[in-house]
Amino acid sequence: MLTAAICGDIFASPPVDSILAGIRAVTGPMGCLLIVTNYTGDRLYFGLAAEQAKSEGYKVETVIVGDDCALPPRRGIVGRRGLAGTILVNKIAGAAAEAGLPLSDVAAEAKRASELVGTMGVALSVCTLPGQVTSDRLGPGKMELGLGIHGEPGAAVADFQPVDIIVSHVLKEILSTETGYVPIKRGNRVVVMVNGLGATPMMELMITCGKVVPRLQLEHGLAVDRVYTGSFMTSLDMSGFSITVMKSDQAILQRLDAPTKAPHWPVAVDGNRPPAKIPIPMPASRVTKSDESLSRPTQLTPEGHILEVAIEAAANAIINIKDDLNEWDGKVGDGDCGSTMHKGAMAVLEDMKK
């Protein structure tokens, strides 16, 4: 991964002196590669520090990463923002450097990786800047599509949607042939990263990941080689996630799978491969349901009518107090009693129709 990271103030670029101090602290005879996210301040200050370091005799190369796929194609000179795809570029460059490649080759691998990756983020809340009033631009029930990692407004605000719809939209934006941000087409192999923005639980990231992989395979015709899930590039306490898709080949996978002691890189040497789907035969059920066993008599007795009404009333009563049961159970247990009973009652009513 990285040998050093230069920190600025919150959401601010580090000053030139800090960057220069970092270069001096870690740069050996092989030189130094600066991997810079595509923001004006970062480019300005890292660029100035690189020039000063060169004047002191250091070998310095710079690679700019702009993997944002949410904004329209470039208007003006700013270009695309650097997002979570930068993490994959860091890993590839770090592995290339660890393999002993010269600086020019390490820079070339990092630049190539930056051209193969696209990212788009979705947020359900804005982040809280310490000491500042939190923005209220996202009203209740609203989410933001295509935002940056410094709290910048996104490309669009929309109503809350199910995760399936969000994932489908984000993948279409990343893989759009109109913008052509990433050179990925049907039949290619890809690496996927589902990145939490700071306040998204791992379970929700895993749910998102579970929607991303089959859509890439079935809707876009892509083979998924690796999946990385976690909080890699966050935005303080923002609720949301970003999806990163990178075109992969054997050289890319070799770098991603190279061992690292970086404490939060999520996989070991063998890489994090999507599980293969293995068909498992269902065991024979001890109770075989047949149409006959589910059929009702042609005519119910008076007692049968009473029993039917009683069962329906009991099932509906349980359905109506689902939330109360969950609340009561939450005070003494795990809070799912109502949901469990609701499921059983619905099944009873469904069977009675048959």
Residue 272 confidence (pLDDT) above 60: no
> Does some domain include residue 85?
no
Residues 180 and 306 in one domain: no
Domain count for the chain, please give it. Answer: 3
Q: What pLDDT does 265 receive?
A: 87
CA distance 249 to 343: 46
The answer to whether residue 50 is domain-embedded is yes
Q: How confident is the model at residue 222 (pLDDT cuts 50, 70, 90)?
A: very high
From 4-13, 235-244, 250-259, 269-278, the region with the lowest mean pLDDT = 269-278
Residue 269 lies in a domain: no
Residue 172 CB-density burial (10 A; 0-12 exposed, 13-18 middle, 19+ buried)? middle
In Å, what is the CA distance from 150 to each residue of 38, 82, 103, 197, 224?
12, 11, 31, 11, 30
Average pLDDT over residues 316-329: 93
Residue 335, domain member (yes or no): yes
Beta strands 60-65; 117-123: pairing state: unpaired
141/209 same-domain check = yes
Q: What is the pLDDT of residues 30-58, one digit of tens each?
A: 999 999 999 989 999 999 999 999 999 99
Asked if the structure places residue 271 within a domain, the reply is no
192 lies in the same domain as 46: no
Distance CA 309, CA 312 (A): 5
**Residue 203 and residue 115 in one domain:** yes
- pLDDT tens-place string over residues 54-86: 999 999 999 999 999 997 776 556 678 999 999
Residue 292 lies in a domain: no
Are 208 and 343 found together in one domain?
A: no
CATH number at residue 22: 3.40.50.10440
Instruction: Please indicate whether residue 9 or residue 118 has the higher confidence score (pLDDT).
Output: 118
117 and 253 share a domain? yes
Q: Could you give the CA distance from residue 110 to residue 91 in angstroms, rounded to a whole number?
A: 9
Catalytic residue among 150, 220, 264, 305: 150
Which residue range forms the structural domain that includes residue 337? 302-352
56 and 95 housed in the same domain:
no
Whether residue 55 is found in the same domain as residue 95: no
Please answer whether residues 147 and 218 qualify as being in contact, where contact means their C-beta atoms are separated by less than 8 angstroms: no
Looking at the fold, whether 343 and 205 belong to one and the same domain comes out as: no
Q: Is there a catalytic annotation at residue 264?
A: no
Residues 308 and 180 grouped into a single domain? no
- Indicate the average pLDDT of the chain: 90
Question: Do 120 and 57 share a domain, yes or no?
Answer: no
Instruction: Kindly state whether residues 230 and 346 are assigned to the same domain.
Output: no
Most confident of 11-15, 84-88, 139-143, 332-336: 84-88
Of 226, 257, 288, the last residue of a domain is 257
